[in-house]
Amino acid sequence: MAGVSLKCGDCGTLLKSVEEAQEHAELTKHTDFSESTEAVLNLVCSTCGKPCRSKTESDLHTKRTGHTEFSDKTSETAKPITLEVPKNQSSDDVDMVDASTTGEPEEMVVPDVDLKLLEELESMGFSKERSTRALHFSGNSSLEAAANWIVEHEEDADIDQMPLVSAKSKSEPSKPSLTPEERKAKAQELKERARKKKEEEEKRMEREREKERIRIGKELLEAKRMEEENERKRIIALRKAEKEEERRAREKIRQKLEEDKAERRRKLGLPAEDPTAPKPSAPVVEEKKSSLPIRPATKSEQMRECLRSLKQSNKDDEAKVKTAFNTLLTYIKNAATKPDEEKFRKIRLTNAAFQDRVGKLEGGIKFLELCGFEKIEGGEFLFLARDKIDRAVLNSAGTELNSAINNPFFGVL
């Protein structure tokens, strides 16, 4: 396969033409170039149309712009590269093209070369045709350049053929080679051009980074706003739930008062109060203490009060309260489901784990005593006798504990 690029042996860069290689050499001082069958990549961004010459360049473009789709048009743009074009842009191929465009055959002659360099090459053992060819295609620059050309092209099929150029191109004066000062000026110009190009690229990159910073800033502000809005909605929902819980508590208290009032009227033998009848306004008199007997609180109410006291006395440590409730629920559940096993009905009061979770908390031991546990052996153990297990009481205790655990507003009022 014919070569389609030039590869720098010093840095591995692929170049499309001799001109690019010359410019690369002037900028980097690299001199080791060889013909390569590997084509210079031509990855065209499908979004903005920017061409990228390497995978690294396409990755940078994706990082800057977010564009990820590229069309590989390397095969469409790859063209065979000719290394035998001299610096003055005159060659056999160019002369043949010129002749074909005019439609008339042109006279081909041997190109002029530096005779002194030609003699030196011949003295080194190279044939006249090979030496002439090397001097012609190396630009008659130096003996070293011609020798290097011979080494690089010694495998060429036409290495020992005398080169020919058109008589017209030979008669035209060749462009004078650049002086050291001109070469220095040209190199400086190329460096300046590369510097400006690099500055422009840095400015463009800075603009892209600034746009990215602005975009990220907007996203952070929007995320913060959404977080604040969600927090505000959560607080509103929490307050609404608290108000609803308070309303239900007041309604429950009111219903309880109504039930107590109806019970007192029934005990006194009075008829039930008509809810539709207008209530007389109470006279402003000094309230007298009622001599009616007060109904004692049920065990469920006493258990609920124990749990409420436990939570109120430890309201700053929710984890401790939750651990105490779960521990009590475990004791009650074991006693109810495994009544024949004594180990589930006997608790050592001096146990460190029990004391830390339940024993030293207000209302903890009293709750167990309400469930039927009794102190034995001088107060060292709490024991629930097998014949004193009351499933209804244990079920009520479990209900109160589940309510206390699952209700976030338990004990608030």
Same domain? 119 vs 71: no
Its pTM stands at 0.31
Same domain? 129 vs 158: yes
Same domain? 107 vs 44: no
Strand order of the β-sheet with 374-376 is 346-348, 381-383, 374-376
Residue-level pLDDT at 278 = 61
pLDDT digits (tens, 9 = 90+) for 11-60: 778 777 787 888 878 777 778 777 777 777 788 888 888 888 777 778 88
C-alpha pair distances (Å), 91 with each of 84, 86, 109, 131? 8, 7, 12, 17
Does the residue 227 lie in any domain? no
pLDDT digits (tens, 9 = 90+) for 53-101: 777 778 888 888 888 888 887 777 777 766 554 444 444 444 444 444 4
Residue 172 pLDDT exceeds 70: no
Residue 33 burial class via C-beta count within 10 angstroms: exposed 0-12, middle 13-18, buried 19 and up: buried
pLDDT digits (tens, 9 = 90+) for 231-287: 999 999 999 999 999 999 999 999 999 888 888 888 877 777 766 766 555 555 555
Q: Which domain holds residue 167?
A: 85-175
Same domain? 115 vs 164: yes
Same domain? 102 vs 31: no
Residue 234 burial class via C-beta count within 10 angstroms: exposed 0-12, middle 13-18, buried 19 and up: exposed
Higher-pLDDT residue of 284 and 374 is: 374
Residue by residue, DSSP assigns 17-34 as SHHHHHHHHHHH----EE
Residue ending a domain, among 83, 108, 131, is 83
CATH number at 91 reads: 1.10.8.10
Same domain? 112 vs 156: yes
Does the residue 245 lie in any domain? no
- 279 residue type, one letter: K
Same domain? 400 vs 318: yes
CA distance 382 to 389: 14
CA distance 275 to 277: 6
Same domain? 357 vs 317: yes
379: pLDDT confidence band, cut at 50, 70 and 90? confident
Looking at the structure of the chain, the number of domains it has is: 3
Residue ending a domain, among 83, 105, 136, is 83
Does the residue 411 lie in any domain? no
Does the residue 77 lie in any domain? yes
Would you say 401 and 329 are in contact if contact means Cβ atoms under 8 Å apart? yes
Residue ending a domain, among 110, 142, 175, is 175
Cβ burial 314-347 (10 Å sphere, 16+ → b, else e):
beeeeeebeebbebbbebbeebbeeeeeeebbeb
What value does the mean pLDDT take over residues 107-130? 85
Does the residue 291 lie in any domain? no
Residue 351 pLDDT exceeds 50: yes
Numbers of helices and strands, H then E, in the chain: 14, 11
CA distance 269 to 266: 5
Residue-level pLDDT at 150 = 85
Residue-level pLDDT at 233 = 92
CA distance 193 to 169: 33
Q: Is 89 helix (H, G, I), strand (E, B) or coil?
A: coil
Same domain? 390 vs 352: yes
List CB contacts of 297: < 8 A, sequence separation 6 or more: 305
Does the residue 196 lie in any domain? no
- 244 residue type, one letter: E
Does the residue 190 lie in any domain? no
The angle subtended at Cα 223 by Cα 220 and Cα 228, nearest 5°, is 125
Same domain? 308 vs 397: yes
Q: Strands, E, within 290-409: which ranges?
A: 346-348, 374-376, 381-383
- 236 residue type, one letter: I
CATH number at 402 reads: 1.20.58.2190
Percentage of residues of the chain with pLDDT beyond 70? 82
Would you say 272 and 262 are in contact if contact means Cβ atoms under 8 Å apart? yes
* DSSP H or E stretch at residue 14: strand 14-15
Same domain? 318 vs 345: yes
Does the residue 387 lie in any domain? yes
Q: Is 166 helix (H, G, I), strand (E, B) or coil?
A: strand
Same domain? 124 vs 166: yes
List CB contacts of 114: < 8 A, sequence separation 6 or more: 135, 140
